[in-house]
Amino acid sequence: MRTFTIFERAFKAFRDNPSLSKLMVVCTVSGGGLLAFAETRPFSGSDSVPKKKVVVLGTGWAGTSFLKNLKSSTFEVQVVSPRNYFAFTPLLPSVTCGTVEARSIVEPIRNIVRKKGINIEFKEAECYKIDTDNNKVYCRSGQDTNLGGEEEFSVDYDYLVIAMGARSNTFNTPGVVENCHFLKEVEDAQRIRRTVIDCFERASLPNLSEEERKRILHFVVVGGGPTGVEFAAELHDFVLEDLAKLYPSVKNLAKITLLEAGDHILNMFDKRITAFAEEKFQRDGIHLKTGSMVIKVDDKHISTKERSTGEVSEIPFGMVVWSTGIGTRPVIMDFMNQIGQTNRRALATDEWLRVEGCNNIYALGDCATINQRKVMEDISVIFSKADKNNSGTLNLKDFQEVIDDICERYPQVGLYLKKRQMRNIADLLKSSQAEKQGTELDIALFTSALSEVDSQMKNLPATAQVAAQQGQYLANCFNRMEECERNPEGPLRFRGTGRHRFHPFRYKHLGQFAPLGGEQAAAQLPGDWVSIGQSTQWLWYSVYASKQVSWRTRALVVSDWGRRFIFGRDSSRI
């Protein structure tokens, strides 16, 4: 027992005093002597390997997905965003009409990162400048002036992840910023909700002419994409099912108009969905004006120009919601000018989401676009990689070794083969050989065989689904960065030696929904499967509930849906 106590005391002394550099323990066992001597180095944070600093700009779909999937403890992560929460933006149209409450679709970003078990710090501020020369981002706080005014500071980084999203695109149309509502943020949805109630309250006041009441209750939606269509459908249901009961004297004066510059709404969906949506809106009394371009907006009228005839007309309104696409944020525009990416609408990245011209900066989500390399740009080096014996010709056996790398590096090849109903690139080359009636391909025939594959290149859509997948992909790359530095797993470097560290990002489309009101929705799912009707609306409910970022928001959203079915939508102005 005495010997065990000595060991205990020695262990406790070393544990409580790690600065001890030497420890000697002497034990006597059965008359023999045992001497143990150890020299230790005191632990010091300065002696450990310093962690790489990762700065994440933004807490939207891309940034939050990156933070949720980052598992490596080898990084020191700092998050900078003017919003200290993540918002489930696909439900913003539901917030505008009280179907879902704003608090139900937001989750504090600190709740998300504190459960990670890794060192992640958050700063509520807005980045206004990116300094690539000194690896710094400059930020300013956005708190109210009574808290001390704006405070500016800088944050150093080793890796920068830009996930700042985008702003609404006004196309420099006069009067849009001053007189229109946007639907990009939670605050936008709350503002629209208050304005809708204000319009009905105002129209219910005495001493107003019939014409003025009609103007006040005319709601105009600009943009026939998914957001504009869903908002128009939500607003129609809100007016028909809830506000008509509360404002019976003016219920017949309300009107909803949807303006679209193209020939059809939902032009990114299957034609069957587009046709169904247009027919349903006409039945519901939502006025569709396709081929109408907005040229000016003032405080009471919106001016449009018919694309086919050039006719200009004025439409009186009580509220306009502008939902026509996305534009570049000023800080991103300044950054693009700084790195030589001028005259672009988004940051150009490579297939690994790395900003072109910057080795340690990544961009994902709506603020960036992948600049996929063309096969024709690299055709000669691809041929050289396959022609290992420098014979100047290729047979299928020689080419077999690089087929998989070509298809992975250039995804347009796979799309082209699918369009041509070919199993693989070997079938394409065989077809070219058959035309030549030879057994080998030279550089000219090889170029001819692949000359049309670049026609299948497409930019990814600016959707939450793309941003979330990009965030998850980049987090997995950071989790395996050290491993892949030692053992690269990506495709061959056709313009260099060895392999790329990681597999390039590949987007997997999981389908898209279009709620159309009246408990009906449309869905275009993988495999060109189209579903329309009430069953699709219930599928939409289940998918959007399951995609919530936390169990808290999932429970709140489901309870809001249940409350709406039982009690109706909340029409209070708060």
Q: What is the pLDDT of residues 545-562, one digit of tens each?
A: 999 999 999 999 999 999
Q: Which helix (H) or strand (E) holds 182?
A: strand 181-182
Token readout for 473 is 């992909």
Q: Which pLDDT does position 393 carry in this prediction?
A: 83
Contact between 474 and 364 (Cβ < 8 Å): yes
Q: Which pLDDT does position 23 carry in this prediction?
A: 41
Contact between 132 and 356 (Cβ < 8 Å): no
Contact between 61 and 468 (Cβ < 8 Å): yes
Distance CA 57, CA 77 (A): 11
- What number is the average pLDDT over the span 211-236? 97
Cβ neighbours, 10 Å, residue 31: 5
Please report which confidence band the pLDDT of residue 249 belongs to, taking 50, 70 and 90 as the band edges: very high
Q: Is the pLDDT of residue 10 over 60?
A: no
Lowest mean pLDDT among 240-244, 434-438, 522-526, 547-551: 434-438
Q: Under DSSP, is residue 566 helix (H, G, I), strand (E, B) or coil?
A: helix
- What number is the average pLDDT over the span 287-293? 96
What are the structural domain ranges in the chain? 1-38+534-574, 39-166+328-370+461-486, 169-323, 376-456
Q: Under DSSP, is residue 252 helix (H, G, I), strand (E, B) or coil?
A: helix
**Composition of the chain by helix, strand, coil, percent to 5:** 40, 25, 35
Give 194's contacts (C-beta < 8 A, 6+ positions apart). 573, 574
- What number is the average pLDDT over the span 114-119? 78
Strand-strand pairing, 181-182 and 319-322: parallel
- What number is the average pLDDT over the span 19-47? 43
Please report which confidence band the pLDDT of residue 40 belongs to, taking 50, 70 and 90 as the band edges: very low
Q: Is the pLDDT of residue 160 over 50?
A: yes
Q: Is the pLDDT of residue 396 over 80?
A: no
Give 286's contacts (C-beta < 8 A, 6+ positions apart). 232, 233, 236, 256, 257, 258
Burial of 28 (0-12, 13-18, 19+ CB in 10 A): exposed
Token readout for 320 is 């306009």
Phi-psi region of 248 (alpha: psi -120 to 50; beta: other; left: phi over 0): alpha
- What number is the average pLDDT over the span 466-473? 98
The phi and psi torsions of 257 (rounded to 5 degrees) equal -120, 130
Q: Look up the CATH number of domain 376-456.
A: 1.10.238.10
Listed residue (209, 188, 221) closest to 253, CA to CA: 209
Q: Under DSSP, is residue 208 helix (H, G, I), strand (E, B) or coil?
A: coil
Q: Under DSSP, is residue 290 helix (H, G, I), strand (E, B) or coil?
A: strand
Q: Is the pLDDT of residue 290 over 60?
A: yes
Q: Which pLDDT does position 425 carry in this prediction?
A: 67
Q: Is the pLDDT of residue 39 over 60?
A: no
Q: Which pLDDT does position 360 carry in this prediction?
A: 97
Q: Is the pLDDT of residue 157 over 60?
A: yes
**End-to-end Cα distance, the chain:** 73
Q: Which pLDDT does position 388 carry in this prediction?
A: 81
- pLDDT by residue (tens digit) across 296-308? 999 999 999 999 9
Q: Which pLDDT does position 146 carry in this prediction?
A: 56
Contact between 266 and 225 (Cβ < 8 Å): yes
Lowest mean pLDDT among 149-153, 372-376, 439-443: 439-443
Q: Which pLDDT does position 387 carry in this prediction?
A: 83
CATH architecture of 169-323: 3-Layer(bba) Sandwich (3.50)
* pTM of the predicted structure, to 2 decimals: 0.87
Compute the C-alpha angle 223/228/232, nearest 5°: 120
Q: Is the pLDDT of residue 18 over 80?
A: no
Distances (CA, A) of 562 to 98, 559, 567: 13, 5, 9
Q: Which pLDDT does position 144 carry in this prediction?
A: 63
The phi and psi torsions of 355 (rounded to 5 degrees) equal -60, 130
Please report which confidence band the pLDDT of residue 48 belongs to, taking 50, 70 and 90 as the band edges: low
Q: Looking at per-residue confidence, does 199 or 417 come out higher?
A: 199
How does DSSP classify residue 31? T
Q: Looking at per-residue confidence, does 112 or 23 come out higher?
A: 112
Distance CA 162, CA 498 (A): 28
Q: Under DSSP, is residue 244 helix (H, G, I), strand (E, B) or coil?
A: helix
Q: Which helix (H) or strand (E) holds 558?
A: helix 551-567
Write down the residue that tokens 């009228």 correspond to.
301
The percentage of the chain sitting over the pLDDT mark of 70, rounded to a whole number, equals 88
Q: Is the pLDDT of residue 316 over 70?
A: yes
Q: Is the pLDDT of residue 34 over 60?
A: no
Alpha carbon 261 to chain centroid distance?
25
Q: Which pLDDT does position 128 carry in this prediction?
A: 96
- What number is the average pLDDT over the span 147-161? 88
Q: Which pLDDT does position 343 carry in this prediction?
A: 86
Q: Which pLDDT does position 430 carry in this prediction?
A: 66
Q: Which pLDDT does position 36 carry in this prediction?
A: 44
Q: Which pLDDT does position 419 carry in this prediction?
A: 81
For residue 327, the cross-strand partners are 167
Contact between 336 and 342 (Cβ < 8 Å): yes
For residue 219, the cross-strand partners are 256, 319
Contact between 294 and 268 (Cβ < 8 Å): no
Q: Look up the CATH number of domain 39-166+328-370+461-486.
A: 3.50.50.100
- What number is the average pLDDT over the span 111-117? 82
Q: 39-166+328-370+461-486 and 376-456: same fold?
A: no
Distance CA 433, CA 437 (A): 6
Contact between 106 and 203 (Cβ < 8 Å): no
- What number is the average pLDDT over the span 206-219? 97
Q: Which pLDDT does position 263 carry in this prediction?
A: 95
Token readout for 123 is 């700063």
String of b and e for 260-296 (b: at least 16 CB within 10 Å)? bbeebbbeebbeebbebbbebbeebebebbbbbbbeb
Distance CA 10, CA 16 (A): 10
Q: Which pLDDT does position 385 carry in this prediction?
A: 84
Q: Which pLDDT does position 183 carry in this prediction?
A: 97
Average pLDDT, the chain: 88
Q: Under DSSP, is residue 515 helix (H, G, I), strand (E, B) or coil?
A: strand
- What number is the average pLDDT over the span 324-339? 95
Token readout for 253 is 């004066």
Distance CA 133, CA 139 (A): 16
Q: Is the pLDDT of residue 17 over 80?
A: no
